[in-house]
Structure 1
Amino acid sequence: MNLVEMKKANRSQVYQLVYQNRRISKTDIAEVLNISIPTVSQCVNELKQLDLIMEDGFFESTGGRKSVAIKCRDDIRIAIGVDIRKTMVYLVALNLYGDIIGSSQKEILFRKDEVYCAHVADYIIDFFEKLHISGELLLGVGICVQGLVSQDGKYIVSGRMMDADGFSASDIGKYLPFPFNPVLKHDTELAASYALWKNPGIKDALFLMLNPNLGGAIILNGQLHKGKTQSSGLIAHMTLMPEGKCCYCGKQGCVESYCSVNALLDGFEEELDTFFEKLRAGDEAHQKRWEEYMGYLSRAIYNYQVLMNTDVLLSGEMALYLTEEDLEHLMELTLERMGIMEKLPPIRVIGENDVAPGVALYFIVNFLKEYMPDTFQHPEYYD
């Protein structure tokens, strides 16, 4: 390693440490990285010139001079994520930590035509303008549409839920005055990627997104498992009840037909919040449906656990309504099915509607990779 490379490596390490700690002193940086104070000062000055870090007051003194606090500037770049559903569009803006700094949702019925695409683009532009942030700070816009994505990520190959076959991010992106990511990813993968970002301790897990349509992803060794044909984790289309209810995929008895939010609400003609209000109030019909639903969900989890035996992470719209008692009951039902096992890895709620943050994360990670490239080794999703 020559001198230039060494300086760059030191700067990268310093930035990574400041970023991870959010607020730290030069002395602590020197101690952790085992480099001299002059080297730390040089790196800090270079990073300040790049607007990546700033001084932020002082730490409390323990007897000597107060140490200057160095913090990462999380506001120098943002990214926008767009989650397109059949009847809704969800938008979020993320800062450099992946924290949500703005969000919006609007009812827009999906159509595969130019009028729809221009309408959504106008909504995105209006959302950005209301953030009152300079256009120079916007890294870009990521777009997600429900459906199976082509291996090159350019278009939807199977979008039966929304009649989105052939749809691409460019259909909307061409109307935007901002950079956008032309590569599409599966919505559940995006939500799982955001969960991994916010919870880096996750190693092995089944990620279940309890939305109107069920989504699943498998996490192994802290990474999304894609499979050879990029279709791993499609638990929604495992057969739960042979010769059972018809699924939109054309098969019968899929997990989707029994464990999605649409399946829970089938015949009730009401929104999810109303269902849970009546359930918690003790309505007999809602309690009966909920018990049936929990039985089906426990069976789906059992089928997975027999093979994988990992944590189960619940996300999506329904996750907001789940109580600790619900999770305990779900675990009890799953264990009853196991028979040969007395204990299973935990079932827990990890998020709500994280698809839009997941698609925005692409830009955040790729920006950070410029300044601390060794930090982001795993997710091919971000490339």
Structure 2
Amino acid sequence: MENITLTDIKKNNYSLIYNLLYEQEKLSKQEIANQLHLSLPTVTQNLVALEEAGLIEKGGQFESQVGRRAVAYTVCPHAGIGIGVEILKKQVRILAVDLKGWICGCVEHKLLYRNDDAYYKETADFVSDFIRDSGFGEEQVLGIGFAVQGLTTADGQEIIFGKTLGYTGLKITALSRHLKYPCMFLHDAKCAAATELWNRRDLTDAIYLSIGKHLGGAVIIGGQTVMGKQNHGGAVEHMTLIPGGRPCYCGKSGCMEAYCSVNALIHEEETLEEFFTGLRDGEAEKKRRFDEYLDHLSTAVNNLHMVMDCDVILGGHMAPFLTKADMDILQEKVWGKSAFPDEEDFIFLSETARDSVPVGAALEFVRGFLDGI
């Protein structure tokens, strides 16, 4: 207590008032004082400071039976904007979220990935155009998160394992030199898990599987993604599922990636939409393929559940196509392989599968900004 200064107390009050408004949407000065047990002068002083900083605004007045109506204060969601960019083999998806995590703009460009400066400049130009066309001021943009199909350094400055598109060793300067905002690389599966955590504040322990063209994973413990010693925690896609099995892009054989990704289910020129349309129409060949796929996925899920007795959340591009009947079949297959008599469902679909990757990349900067208030 002796080390706490007056500045610390002021900063704490400032943060407490902002966070209370952030959580409760709209409050009067008196309500803030009552809930935080602060004096009205202290609350008034901090509200003025927050308003001058552009973080809050007056949002009308509360109804009152007698006397003057109290002014309502609320946060300004657009005081800070995070930009998320998902880099895929054939396209770039750019999205913006505000301080509430609400999507406030999205655009997609067809662009074949190339590991050269012309590609990075073109991508950066797309991002700059998106920011300009969305009407965001430079002071609003908190930073740009580039979600990639690979592992990155803890500070997001380099891709340390990116064999899917061949960008291992790529530094963020390839993109940031063309932009005027803070930039970082982020693992796409970790971004998807971050979106899930943002939207489900009750989520504590889980294994998140992002089932896209390639498979990705994230381990959530205590409401946080766990990266591990070498920053590749949760890379379940490279766990061996079938020794000596199908080749994986990592150079090994039999990885979960080779059996549980979207690429493992559909043919090269086939889309998920085409596959599931045929499956729902009763096409026997697609039913056989899907049943075999669920067999492999159930083995993978059972193995993961044996390690961590927690929920398994399925997200990624495949999640929107899966029905309750599909999930019931998968759960039954897992129970049939489990050593324990589990009775409760523990496999669930992501609640935020669509756009979860670019949203999570943008939220990295939003979360950092909020933590600093």
Do the structures match in fold with TM over 0.5?
A: yes
Instruction: Encode CA deviations 1:363-383: one digit per residue, 9 max, x unaligned.
Output: 212222231xxxxxxxxxxxx
SS at match of 2:258: helix
Using a 3 Å threshold, how does the CA distance of structure 1 residues 68 and 163 change in structure 2: closer, same or farther? same
Distance in 1 (alpha carbons) for counterparts of 2:196 and 2:140:
25
Shift of 1:232: 1.3
From 99, 105, 108, the counterpart of 2:108: 105
> Where do residues 25-174 of structure 1 align in structure 2 (5 Å cutoff)?
25-61=28-64, 66-150=69-153, 153-174=156-177
1:203 corresponds to which letter in structure 2?
A: T
TM-score for the superposition, normalised by structure 2: 0.93
Per the alignment, residue 349 of structure 2 pairs with 349
Per the alignment, residue 377 of structure 1 pairs with none
Distance in 1 (alpha carbons) for counterparts of 2:326 and 2:39:
54
Contact 1:309 1:345 in 2 (8 A): no
Per the alignment, residue 284 of structure 1 pairs with 284
Per the alignment, residue 315 of structure 1 pairs with 315
Per the alignment, residue 228 of structure 1 pairs with 229
Distance in 2 (alpha carbons) for counterparts of 1:88 and 1:56:
40
Using a 3 Å threshold, how does the CA distance of structure 1 residues 344 and 216 change in structure 2: closer, same or farther? farther
Shift of 1:69: 2.0
Matched, 1:367 2:369: yes
Distance in 2 (alpha carbons) for counterparts of 1:109 and 1:2:
55
Instruction: Encode CA deviations 1:64-93: one digit per residue, 9 max, x unaligned.
Output: 754332110001221211111111211111
Using a 3 Å threshold, how does the CA distance of structure 1 residues 345 and 59 change in structure 2: closer, same or farther? farther
Between stretches 308-317 and 147-156, larger displacement belongs to 147-156
1:75 corresponds to which letter in structure 2?
A: H
Per the alignment, residue 340 of structure 2 pairs with 340
Shift of 1:31: 2.2
Distance in 1 (alpha carbons) for counterparts of 2:283 and 2:66:
64
Distance in 1 (alpha carbons) for counterparts of 2:115 and 2:98:
31
Using a 3 Å threshold, how does the CA distance of structure 1 residues 151 and 24 change in structure 2: closer, same or farther? closer
Per the alignment, residue 303 of structure 2 pairs with 303
Contact 1:279 1:286 in 2 (8 A): yes
Distance in 2 (alpha carbons) for counterparts of 1:145 and 1:235:
16
Using a 3 Å threshold, how does the CA distance of structure 1 residues 62 and 172 change in structure 2: closer, same or farther? same
TM-score for the superposition, normalised by structure 1: 0.90
Instruction: Encode CA deviations 1:109-141: one digit per residue, 9 max, x unaligned.
Output: 111111111111111112112202222322222
Q: What are the ranges of 5 or more consecutive residues in structure 2 without an aligned counterpart?
A: none
Distance in 2 (alpha carbons) for counterparts of 1:231 and 1:4:
39
Contact 1:151 1:229 in 2 (8 A): no
Contact 2:156 2:172 in 1 (8 A): no
Distance in 1 (alpha carbons) for counterparts of 2:24 and 2:208:
28
Q: Percent identity?
A: 38
SS at match of 2:49: helix
Using a 3 Å threshold, how does the CA distance of structure 1 residues 151 and 98 change in structure 2: closer, same or farther? closer
Shift of 1:246: 1.1
Contact 1:190 1:354 in 2 (8 A): yes
Shift of 1:63: 6.7
SS at match of 1:242: coil
Per the alignment, residue 275 of structure 2 pairs with 275
Distance in 2 (alpha carbons) for counterparts of 1:134 and 1:66:
34
Using a 3 Å threshold, how does the CA distance of structure 1 residues 368 and 342 change in structure 2: closer, same or farther? closer
Distance in 1 (alpha carbons) for counterparts of 2:344 and 2:237:
21
Contact 1:144 1:359 in 2 (8 A): yes
Computed over aligned residues only, the root mean square deviation of the Cα atoms, in angstroms, reads 1.9
Q: What are the ranges of 5 or more consecutive residues in structure 1 without an aligned counterpart?
A: 372-383
Distance in 1 (alpha carbons) for counterparts of 2:165 and 2:131:
26
Shift of 1:292: 1.3
Matched, 1:21 2:50: no
Distance in 1 (alpha carbons) for counterparts of 2:24 and 2:219:
29
Contact 2:145 2:186 in 1 (8 A): no
Distance in 2 (alpha carbons) for counterparts of 1:204 and 1:249:
28
Contact 1:78 1:139 in 2 (8 A): yes
Distance in 2 (alpha carbons) for counterparts of 1:340 and 1:357:
37
Contact 1:226 1:233 in 2 (8 A): yes
